[in-house]
Chains A and B, each alone.
Chain A
Amino acid sequence: MNGSIGARPDLSAHGFLVVEDFEGMRGILRDMLTRAGVTRIVFAPDAAAALIQLERQHFDAVLCDLHLGRGRNGQELLEEARQRHVLPPDTVWLMVSAEKTAEMVAGTVEARPDDYLIKPLTETLLYTRLARQMEKKRVLAPIEQALRAGEPLKAQRLIDAALERAGTHAWELKRLRADVAWQSGDDERARAIYEEVLARRDVPWAQLGLARIDVRHGDYAAARARLAQVTQGSRAYLEAHDCLARVLEHQGELAGAQEILRQALSVSPRAPHRLTHLGEVAFRRGDLDTAANALRRGVELARGTPAQDSGRYLTLVRVQLARGDREAAMASLSQLAHDHKDRADVRLVARAMEIPLRMQAEETTVAWALAQELAPELRAGAAVLPTEVAFDLAGPLLELGDTETAAALMIAVVGNHHDHAEYPERIEALYARAGLAGQGRALVAHAAREAVEIMDRGVRLFHAGELDEAVATTRAALARMPDNARLLLNHAFLLIAGMERHGHDAAAAQEARACIERARRLKPEDRRAGELLARMEVIRHDFVA
């Protein structure tokens, strides 16, 4: 066998991006690729340079070192490239690393590279992996393309066809098939696939898939049992830890949730979403030091990336205020405004949050002046203000005597969350504290009734056959309750019913899709979103055909 090992493939038609900060390694990779006939190799020394290259041109494969010196590492680069949609479905991503990490194998779909190469590299290793992954992309890229285009039914057909042909990717295809079924609200199908897989091999992702279905159906105890089994085996199954922490939090076991998150962070510490979750759980428990540390770190890690999220800054501000550390809270608000220069809504929130801060400092005059200045903007934007910010502001506003603005904020909260279990109680408690208990009760009752009436009107018109009027009604209602998931889905349903009657309509389709996506972000557990997307796909294809 000597000398004959590792016949070089012909890669001359392919373009490569090599992300590597170490010059010696760049040379080794260049030599290996050149020997396989590659002529188009672009080098990027760090994540920022790599992103620029990915935006500019198409690559067939990316070879990326996990460690990139200072700045973002290869893992963060991969996730950011996916979130920014600069990684085409047919591009192979190979992570080059001294060792396999938990993120690479047990992170979310966004976090997993196609494959990883453990150093020291050999030509054979590089060529075999490249060949295998490029072959896999030929099967998976069209499926991924369909999913990105919002065509889950087409994706399912492609997966089923690929499974018929049966190759070496059967497990991967099944995993994808189950995931697409779950996304489309077809939980029965997803469950069947996961159970079939588990009957053959004990794979953590199938356990996780079943647990997600349990959660969606409200069976938290079953989800918890499954996830506990996975996480007890290993701390490296990160996604299962994240999911278990949510389940425990839902069951009110905050200490357990915090411990699970701490374990996952000990393995994978640079994850802003996980740090945020830890911050929230610790805050709820009153562990303010842990909360502040986790949130501050999350803010810093995500700054300037797609993971940057104004909600994280605001939770940090709340924790800092709870600690009485107003100086730090003020600094966080400045940073929030600074990091969101191009977002007028976030800048408004950053300024408005100074009102509770000033009230806490007993600088009532400053708070009052600020409230006076911002009140018109707050009332106008009440419907789109983050719910927790509305709660943060309502108390101080009532105290300052601006009942009109406070009421506008609270009416918007009820409208957006008409079926929420705790918000009405919180609102009433807030008014009671301000000595306005009766006013609070009346406000909640009235706003809830109005929200339900508005939704019922749309449904009634639909059943009466007045489709256009129904659409107009829900559209007008959405202007007042833009974060009401049920209303969003009702509106999308009416638009889709209209298309089913009169044929595909680009504007209606776009409006419906936007509503569904928004509803899904607000209520990921609602199966209707996936079902409506599938119906839209049918309409589009019937129309095209």
Chain B
Amino acid sequence: MPESGDRLDITTFLLSAIHDMKNSLGVMVAFLEDALACAEQPAPARERTAQALYEAQRVDEHLIQLLALYKIDQRFYPFDAGEQVLADLAREALARVDTLAGSRGVTLRCDCAEGAVGWFDYDLVYGVTVQALHNALRYARGQVLLHAHTDADGGVEIRIEDDGPGFPDFLLERDLPGPLAIQHDTGNTGLGLYFARVVARLHGSDARRGAIRLENGGALGGGCFVLRLP
């Protein structure tokens, strides 16, 4: 359809550039994972490779989130909630961060009832879970725990806990605001939390919508990210 104006052009450019970058990152991530799998690498090189892998995965996640947020905003995200096996979600999300966890000496644990099913858009919730795991791995001292459970009403709760120092106070406010102000000292743009909140709120109806919550403590005593879906 012919549409006039430069706005379409720049948007098209951005979208195709994001695709292209994602493809390159996919190749980079595969190479870095292969490199980490080679046993003979000296320790400092391993450390650097693991760091590079973490950064590459972070960029990849951000691109996915930007793309999804753009589509949600423009009303053409193919939102596809359906019945999903929680154990599959947990397995796939943990597999995604397994190499990184191994290189950092962090043990991943999973607490999830086999056979439990929830109702959600798989890709969006997978994106939120992986990014919460990455965040937990960044601060964990030795352990990260992923809980995934259903409640009696068919709702889902996903908790990602770590044994690190926990979230700073300003993030613990009960009602998380919209996009957080950019924290220039930490480089945190707030994109991840904003994305998680948008994803949570896409689930359910006006009567009851999904939500996210940050806590400190939990089973491991560190930070705890909670996603609840109706």
Interface residues of A (CB under 8 A from B): 1-3, 5-6, 24, 28, 98-102, 104-106, 118-120, 122-125, 128, 132, 168, 170-171, 201-203, 233-236, 262, 265-267, 269, 293
Pick 14 A–B contacts, CB within 8 A, sort by A: A5-B91, A5-B95, A98-B23, A98-B26, A99-B64, A102-B76, A118-B123, A168-B83, A168-B85, A233-B75, A236-B75, A236-B78, A267-B76, A293-B2
Instruction: Determine if B81 is an interface residue (Cβ-Cβ < 8 Å).
Output: yes
How distant is the Cα of A233 from the Cα of B81 in the complex, in angstroms? Answer: 14
Give A246 Cβ to nearest chain B Cβ, in Å.
20
Residue in A closest to B74 when the chains form the complex, CB atoms? A235
Interface residues in B91-126 by Cβ distance below 8 A to A read: 91-92, 94-96, 98, 101-102, 107-110, 117, 119, 123
Asked whether, in the complex, the Cβ of A123 is within 8 Å of the Cβ of B95, the reply is yes
Asked whether, in the complex, the Cβ of A2 is within 8 Å of the Cβ of B96, the reply is no
Asked whether, in the complex, the Cβ of B108 is within 8 Å of the Cβ of A104, the reply is no
List, in ascending order, chain A residues with CB within 8 A of B48's CB: none
List, in ascending order, chain A residues with CB within 8 A of B83's CB: 168, 170-171
Give A464 Cβ to nearest chain B Cβ, in Å.
55
Give A175 Cβ to nearest chain B Cβ, in Å.
10
List, in ascending order, chain B residues with CB within 8 A of A262's CB: 1
Residue in A closest to B146 when the chains form the complex, CB atoms? A1
Asked whether, in the complex, the Cβ of A171 is within 8 Å of the Cβ of B82, the reply is yes
Give B20 Cβ to nearest chain A Cβ, in Å.
9
- With A1-B98, A5-B94, A269-B1 already in contact, 17 other A-B pairs whose C-beta atoms are closer than 8 Å: A5-B95, A6-B95, A98-B22, A98-B23, A99-B19, A104-B78, A120-B60, A122-B95, A125-B96, A128-B88, A132-B88, A168-B117, A202-B205, A235-B75, A235-B76, A236-B71, A236-B79
Instruction: Determine if B25 is an interface residue (Cβ-Cβ < 8 Å).
Output: yes
Give A34 Cβ to nearest chain B Cβ, in Å.
15
List, in ascending order, chain B residues with CB within 8 A of A104's CB: 78
Asked whether, in the complex, the Cβ of A128 is within 8 Å of the Cβ of B92, the reply is yes
Instruction: Determine if B77 is an interface residue (Cβ-Cβ < 8 Å).
Output: yes
Asked whether, in the complex, the Cβ of B26 is within 8 Å of the Cβ of A119, the reply is yes
How distant is the Cα of A203 from the Cα of B102 in the complex, in angstroms? Answer: 40
Asked whether, in the complex, the Cβ of B95 is within 8 Å of the Cβ of A234, the reply is no
How distant is the Cα of A262 from the Cα of B2 in the complex, in angstroms? Answer: 11
Instruction: Determine if B9 is an interface residue (Cβ-Cβ < 8 Å).
Output: no
Query: With A106-B80, A201-B119, A236-B78 given, is the CB distance from A6 to B91 under 8 Å?
Result: yes
Instruction: Determine if B43 is an interface residue (Cβ-Cβ < 8 Å).
Output: no
Give A7 Cβ to nearest chain B Cβ, in Å.
10
Asked whether, in the complex, the Cβ of A234 is within 8 Å of the Cβ of B2, the reply is no
Number of A-B contacts (CB under 8 A): 99
Asked whether, in the complex, the Cβ of B119 is within 8 Å of the Cβ of A2, the reply is no
How distant is the Cα of A136 from the Cα of B223 in the complex, in angstroms? Answer: 38
Query: With A1-B108, A120-B30, A293-B2 given, is the CB distance from A101 to B81 under 8 Å?
Result: no
Asked whether, in the complex, the Cβ of A132 is within 8 Å of the Cβ of B76, the reply is no
Asked whether, in the complex, the Cβ of A2 is within 8 Å of the Cβ of B79, the reply is no
How distant is the Cα of A70 from the Cα of B22 in the complex, in angstroms? Answer: 20
Residue in B closest to A278 when the chains form the complex, CB atoms? B1
Asked whether, in the complex, the Cβ of B23 is within 8 Å of the Cβ of A234, the reply is no
Give A460 Cβ to nearest chain B Cβ, in Å.
53
Instruction: Determine if B29 is an interface residue (Cβ-Cβ < 8 Å).
Output: yes
Interface residues in B37-91 by Cβ distance below 8 A to A read: 60, 64, 67, 71, 74-83, 85, 88, 91
Give B131 Cβ to nearest chain A Cβ, in Å.
14
Interface centre among B1, B77, B81 (most CB of A within 10 A): B1
Asked whether, in the complex, the Cβ of A100 is within 8 Å of the Cβ of B88, the reply is no
Give B162 Cβ to nearest chain A Cβ, in Å.
14
List, in ascending order, chain A residues with CB within 8 A of B108's CB: 1-2, 5
Give A409 Cβ to nearest chain B Cβ, in Å.
37
How distant is the Cα of A99 from the Cα of B88 in the complex, in angstroms? Answer: 19
Residue in A closest to B26 when the chains form the complex, CB atoms? A120
List, in ascending order, chain A residues with CB within 8 A of B95's CB: 5-6, 122-125
How distant is the Cα of A337 from the Cα of B102 in the complex, in angstroms? Answer: 65
Q: Mark B177-202, 1 if CB is under 8 A from A, else 0.
A: 00000000000000000000000000
Give A255 Cβ to nearest chain B Cβ, in Å.
15
5 tightest A-B CB contacts, nearest first? A124-B95, A120-B26, A105-B80, A236-B78, A235-B76
List, in ascending order, chain B residues with CB within 8 A of A235's CB: 74-76
Residue in A closest to B22 when the chains form the complex, CB atoms? A98
List, in ascending order, chain A residues with CB within 8 A of B22's CB: 98, 119
Instruction: Determine if B10 is an interface residue (Cβ-Cβ < 8 Å).
Output: no
How distant is the Cα of A201 from the Cα of B119 in the complex, in angstroms? Answer: 9
How distant is the Cα of A1 from the Cα of B107 in the complex, in angstroms? Answer: 7
List, in ascending order, chain B residues with CB within 8 A of A1's CB: 94, 98, 107-110
